[in-house]
Amino acid sequence: MSEDDAKSGPPHDPAWHSDTILTHAGLAPHDYHGFVNPPVVRASTVLHKDADALLARSGIRYPYGLNNTPTIEALTTALTALEGDKAAGTVLLPSGLAAVAIAIMAVMRPASKVLIPDNAYYPSRRFGDVSLAQFGGEAVYYDPLSIDDLTAKLDGASAVLIEAPGSLTFELPDTAKIVAAARDAGALTIFDNTWATPLIYRPLDHGVDLVAYAGTKYFGGHSDLMIGSITANATTWPRLARLHKNLGLQAGTEEIWLTLRGLRTMSVRLERHEKSALAIAKWLTARPEVERVLCPALPDDPGHALWQRDFKRISGLFGFVLKGGMPEAKRFLNALRLFGLGPSWGGFESLAVVAELDYARTIRPWTEGAVIRLHVGLEDVADLITDLERGFAALADG
């Protein structure tokens, strides 16, 4: 089998737009008697026809169940296609956290710094502080809103993590400036793009080297699986593929299949998440109990101009600052009936949490009131607003 055959997955047309990729990527019905969806291939051993084929198996399309199956390939092909021309390949991981951690490890030089934004997803910080240090690395936090702060810390850095908007507090960094500064300093960039999905923003198009996702969120979309993915550009793909292989990592077959199923409807789900989240964000701006709404789509948000440049759309996740602290936040949350109280997000249902920011920021400690983060699901907006009114009414009762 030629090198090209070894790389080729199910057919897809490079001219396809995102919605067509979501609908058709990974499908090859006539390889499977015409059934629309590919069968789920559960595999360890791959049998070879003879001894010569057995000995030549390294480098073929399906050497072993860990490395590739038609099921793995259907999803990696789709995810690579969704990131555009710069994408060279995708690996799957058992969680979004593994995707962030492995992306960092893939491009890190020994005994080097990794720059992490102060508002990163908290477990990414924990990985940086505890586990990177164990392998001779050093996590250094930068202010995502200050290019000067970043530039001052770049010397000797091998990688810069970017997350936009920031976890829990939704600040928008100037990604273009961060990528340019990192490149000037010889550091590679990793973008945690879980919030936007490739339908809203494609980091590799903007010079980023690796894009990581918690597919647990919008790819899966139904709160019933955990998966991660990393898509690399041509510079970083060989390193990423090697580390992924050598660590023996892969996502579970059932999770991959459920993620493929989720992807088919991701675009229509996101449209609805966006429309409802925007309606609720606007409604919240007029509430007397709300100090401010943390959503870059709103014209008064400090990140609005960058949002117009880079994103132009939102997903279903944003926050607001309550007038008050933890006692008020607890009363508000306890009164909700439709919004479930729990972490993670990206499923069909609405969720609310209070942000625990005291240990999650070291550069810019959070000094405002309690932050409530909402994931706006696919329910009727009027019913969600009634639920939030219940929460606000509970504040007045206190």
Ligand X SMILES: *Cc1c(COP(=O)(O)O)cnc(C)c1O
Binding residues for ligand X restricted to 139-178, rule: CB under 6 A: 163, 167
- In the bound complex, what is the minimum distance in angstroms from residue 184's beta carbon to ligand X? 26
Residues 327-386 close enough to bind ligand X by CB under 6 A: 344
DSSP tag of 31: G
Interhelix angle 96-107/237-246, rounded to 10 degrees, is: 120
Q: Which two tokens stand for residue 328?
A: 């008020």
Task: Give the binding range for ligand X (CB under 6 A) out of 132-140, 211-219, 276-284, 319-327.
Answer: 211-219
Strand partners, 141: 116
Residue among 219 and 320 whose Cβ is closer to ligand X: 219
Name the token pair of 112: 């080097």
Candidate list 69, 71, 95, 233; residue touching ligand X; CB under 6 A = 95
Residue type for position 328 = E
38/315 with CB nearer ligand X: 315
Q: How far is CA 25 from CA 227, 237, 261, in A?
A: 18, 21, 11
Residue 121 touches ligand X, criterion: CB under 6 A: yes
Question: d(Cα 187, Cα 339) in Å, to the nearest integer?
Answer: 41
- The residue (of 217 and 244) whose beta carbon lies closer to ligand X is 217
Binding residue for ligand X, selected from 103, 181, 187, 226, defined by CB under 6 A: 226
Place of tokens 């100090």: 291
Determine the interface stretch with ligand X among 48-56, 64-72, 95-103, 304-312 (rule: CB under 6 A).
Answer: 95-103
Of 164 and 395, nearer to ligand X (C-beta) is 164
Burial of 152 (0-12, 13-18, 19+ CB in 10 A): exposed
Alpha-helical (H) ranges within 185-265 are 197-200, 237-246, 253-264
> Which residue lies nearer to ligand X by CB, 62 or 122?
122
C-alpha atoms less than 13 angstroms from C-alpha of 318 in its C-beta half-sphere: 28
Residue with the closest Cβ to ligand X? 96
In terms of CB distance, is 320 or 345 closer to ligand X?
345
The reply to whether 100 sits near ligand X by the rule CB under 6 A is yes
- Shortest Cβ distance from residue 106 to ligand X (Å)? 16
| Cα separation, 138 vs 120, whole angstroms | 16
Query: Quick check: helix, strand or coil at residue 322?
Result: strand
Binding ligand X (rule: CB under 6 A), the pick from 69, 216, 229, 233 is 216
Q: CA of 393: how far to CAs of 316, 389, 398, in Å? A: 24, 6, 9
At closest approach, how far in Å is the CB of 233 from ligand X? 20
Closest to ligand X by CB, 27 vs 354, is: 354
Instruction: Give the residue with the Cβ less far from ligand X, 27 or 251.
Output: 251
Tell me how far, at minimum, the Cβ of 341 lies from ligand X, in Å.
Answer: 16
Q: Identify the burial level of 267 via C-beta atoms within 10 angstroms of its C-beta, where 0-12 means exposed, 13-18 middle and 19 or more buried.
A: middle
**Smallest distance from the beta carbon of 210 to ligand X, in angstroms?**
14
**DSSP 8-state secondary structure symbol assigned to residue 367:** -
- Smaller CB separation from ligand X, 200 or 290: 200
Minimum gap (Å) between residue 94 Cβ and ligand X: 8
Please count the residues of this chain forming the interface with ligand X, following the rule CB under 6 A.
15
CB–CB of 76/90 below 8 Å? yes
Question: CB under 6 A: which stretch of 89-97, 136-144, 276-284, 291-299 binds ligand X?
Answer: 89-97
Q: At a CB cut-off of 8 Å and minimum separation 6, what does 206 contact?
A: 175, 176, 179, 310
Binding segment toward ligand X, per CB under 6 A, in 9-17, 180-188, 210-218, 296-304: 210-218
Instruction: Give the DSSP H or E segment for 78.
Output: helix 70-82
| Contact mark string toward ligand X, 228..267, x via CB under 6 A | x---------------------------------------
User: How many other β-carbons are positioned within 10 Å of the β-carbon of residue 319?
Assistant: 24
Residues that bind ligand X (CB under 6 A): 95-97, 100, 121, 163, 167, 192, 194, 214, 216-217, 226, 228, 344
